[in-house]
Amino acid sequence: MSDFFLELFLDRMDTPIGELLIVADETGKLRATDWIDFESRMQGLLCRQYGKDRFRLQPARNPTGPRDALEAYFAGDVKAIDQVPVETAGTPFQRSVWSELRKIPSGAAISYGKLAERIARPKAVRAVGLANGANPIGIVVPCHRVIGSDGSLTGYGGGLERKRWLLEHERKNA
C-alpha cells in the first residue's frame, strides 16, 4: 500500500447560477469543480480518481488562488480562467479530450465530432462525449463549450440552464 496522501482544499463560491464548489491542492492546481446540488457526485469522483482513503478534503477559502480567477470570470473577464493550473486523474484518452477543451476559445462552441477530429480520433465521437461528461473541472476545462452537431445544447453535468447561461455569458464578454 502506498503512503501517498493528497491534501485537498474545498472552497464554496456564490455565482449567478448557484453555489460552486472549488477543489484545489496545496500547490494551487485546480482538481475539481461542481455545483452544490451535485456535491455527492463530486465526492464520488474524487474517491474514484484518488482512492477513498488517499486524500483529505479540508474546508478553506481560496487557499491557493483559483477562486480569484473564477470570480473574475463570473464578473465578465471570461479569459481569467485560461491560465488556471489544473491537475486531473483520468485515462490518457480522457486527459487528451480535457486538454483539447481548454483550447476552445471563450464565446465559441464546437461539436463532439469536431472535438474528436481535433484529437485525431474522428470515429471516437461517443468516447469523446463520455470523456467530456467525466470532466472533473467544469468551467475552467470548458466542457460546456461542446454542443450537438446540429447546434443544439446537449448534456451538461450542471444542467442545460447553466450550460446556456455559461455560453451566453462568454459570448457577451468574449
Q: Residue 151: helix, strand or coil by DSSP?
A: coil
Please identify which of the residues 78, 143, 147, 167 carries the catalytic annotation.
143
Element housing 163 (H / E): helix 160-173
Angle at 72 between CA 107 and CA 158, to 5 degrees: 60
Instruction: Show the beta-strand stretches assigned E in the chain.
Output: 6-15, 18-25, 30-35, 55-59, 110-111, 146-147
Which is it for strands 110-111 and 146-147: parallel, antiparallel or unpaired?
A: parallel
Assess whether 47 carries a catalytic annotation.
no
Q: Are 139 and 73 in contact (CB under 8 A)?
A: yes
Rounded Cα distance, 23 and 44, in Å: 13
C-alpha cell at 166: 455559461
Catalytic residues: 143
